[in-house]
Structure 1
Amino acid sequence: MKFQDALVHRDHRFCVGTEQDSGRCYVSIPVSNGMVDYEEYYAIDRATFELFRRDPDAALPFVARCRRRELDELLIVPPGANRGTAI
Structure 2
Amino acid sequence: MAWRDVAVSRAGRFAIGVEEGSGRHYLAIPVSNRLVDYEERYAISVEDFERYGRDLDSALPFVEQCRARLMDHLLLEPPGADRGIPG
**One fold, TM greater than 0.5?**
yes
Q: In structure 2, what is the Cα distance between the partners aligned to 1:69 and 1:63? A: 10
Runs of 4+ in structure 1 over 3 Å off: none
1:33-62 CA deviation, whole Å, 9 max, x = no partner? 021000000000101000001010100000
Helix, strand or coil at the partner of 1:30: strand
2:15 corresponding residue in structure 1: 15
Q: How far apart in 2 are the matches of 1:2 and 1:76?
A: 13
Separation in structure 2 between the aligned mates of residue 58 and residue 28 of structure 1, nearest angstrom:
15
Q: Distance in 2 between matches of 1:9 and 1:2?
A: 20
**Could you tell me which residue of structure 2 aligns to residue 45 of structure 1?**
45
How many residue pairs get matched?
87
What is residue 29 of structure 1 aligned with on the other side?
A: 29
CA displacement at 1:63 relative to structure 2: 0.2
Identity rate of aligned residues, in percent?
54
Structure 2 equivalent of residue 55 of structure 1:
55
User: What's 1:78 paired with?
Assistant: 78
In the alignment, the residues of structure 1 paired with residue 61 and residue 73 of structure 2 have an alpha-carbon distance, to the nearest angstrom, of 17
Please report the RMSD computed on the Cα atoms of aligned residues, expressed in angstroms: 0.4
TM-score, normalised relative to structure 2? 0.99
